[in-house]
Amino acid sequence: MTRWLLHVDLDQFQAAVEFRRHPELRGQPVIVGGNGDPKEPRKVVSCASYPARAYGVRAGMPLRSALKICPDGVFLAQDLATYAEASEEIMTLLRTFPGRVEVLGFDEAFLAVDTDDPEQIARDIRSAIEELGLTCAVGIGDNKLRAKLATGFAKAVGKTGDTDNTDSDATQATGTGIFRLTADNWTELMAHRPTTALWGIGARIAKRMSALGIETIADLAASDRDLLAKEFGPNTGPYLWVLGHGAGDTDISEPREPVGHSRSETFPADLTEHAELDAAITRLATQVAEETIAGGRGIGRVGVTVRTKTFFTRTKQKKLPRPTTDVDEVVRTALLILHTFELDRPIRLLGVRVEFGRE
C-alpha cells in the first residue's frame, strides 16, 4: 500500500462551534473575537463565518474595521475553552481512523495513512465530522506540503479558509470537500501561481524573490539554488527551491510533550498604575497556575512578559526552589518578577508563563 498524507481542515471552526450551540445564527455573518464588543480597542477577529467573509472580514482584522465593512455582523466573544473542547473531540475522532495523527492547531491536523484508497478514508472522515455538527475539507497529498495545499482546492468556491492561500483562484476549487495534489498534477495546478501560494512563503519573502525576477512557483523551481542561498542564507535559500518543486515531508511529526503553559492579555487601554499592573499579573498568574495544577502538573519556573506602548517586549524568569502546586507561591513569584522591571512606561500587554516541574 502507498503512504498518503491527509490534511483535515475544519471549516470556519470557531463560528461553526458557535452554530452548534446557537443554530439560529447559521447563515448569518458571525464574527468571533475579543469580548464580542466590536468597538473594543486592540481586539481582532479570530474567526469569521463565510457570510461575513463575503463582506471582506478576515481573521486578524481589527474588530472596529470589521464593524465598518459588516455593520450587520453578529459579534460574539471568543470562548477558547469551548473551542478547545470541540477541538479535542475532533482530534479524538481522527485517532480512531487508521494511521497516525499530527495536530497542527484547534482546527487542523495531518494523518499519515497507508492505503490504496485515500479518498475513501477522506469521505469517512468528513461523514464522521458531519455527525458532530461540523464540516471539513480534506487534502490528500504524497507529502505534507501538497496535502496542506490540496485543502484549498477542496473547499467550495467562494468559501475560502483563513489559512488557505490556494483558494485565491476560485475556478480551481472543486467544492467537493476532498482533493488530491501530487507530483503528477503539481506543475499543471501550481506552476502558474504566485510564490505566496506556497505554504511557508509570506509577502516579505515573496517581495525579495520578486526583486530577483522570481514571481511564480515555476520561476522558483527554475531558479538558481546558489543565488537563493546567497540572498536568503545557506539553509532557507535551498529550502525555498525545494518548496518550488512541491517537495516536503512524507511522514508526520511525533507529538511533543508540552513543557509549559501561558496566558497573556492585551489591554484596551495602556496600564500606568502599579496597582493595576499587580492586579493584572495576579489574575493571569492565578489562572495559569490553576489550569496547570488542574492538569496534574507541578510548576518549576515562572516567567513574566511585559510589552510597553512602544511595543518593546521583554521576558524575565525565575526558577522556583522546588516544583510546586501552590497557586499563591506562583502568584507571589510572578509579582516579584514584575517588580524587577522598570515600570515607568505605559504597559500594553502582560503575560505569565509557567514551565512544568516534578514535585
Using only C-alpha atoms, the chain has a radius of gyration, in whole angstroms, of 23
Per the residue annotation, which of 18, 24, 88, 108 is the catalytic one?
108
How distant, in Å, are the alpha carbons of 94, 144, 303 from that of 102? Answer: 10, 11, 28
Q: Residue 31: what are its φ and ψ, rounded to 5°?
A: -130, 120
- E strand or H helix at 152: helix 144-154
CA 320 to chain centre: 32
DSSP string, 179-246: EEE-TTTHHHHHTTSBGGGSTT--HHHHHHHHHTT--BHHHHHTS-HHHHHHHH-TTHHHHHHHHHTT
Active-site residue flag, 108: yes
Closest to 73 measured CA to CA, from 88, 55, 85, 86? 55
User: Looking at the annotation, which residues are catalytic?
Assistant: 108
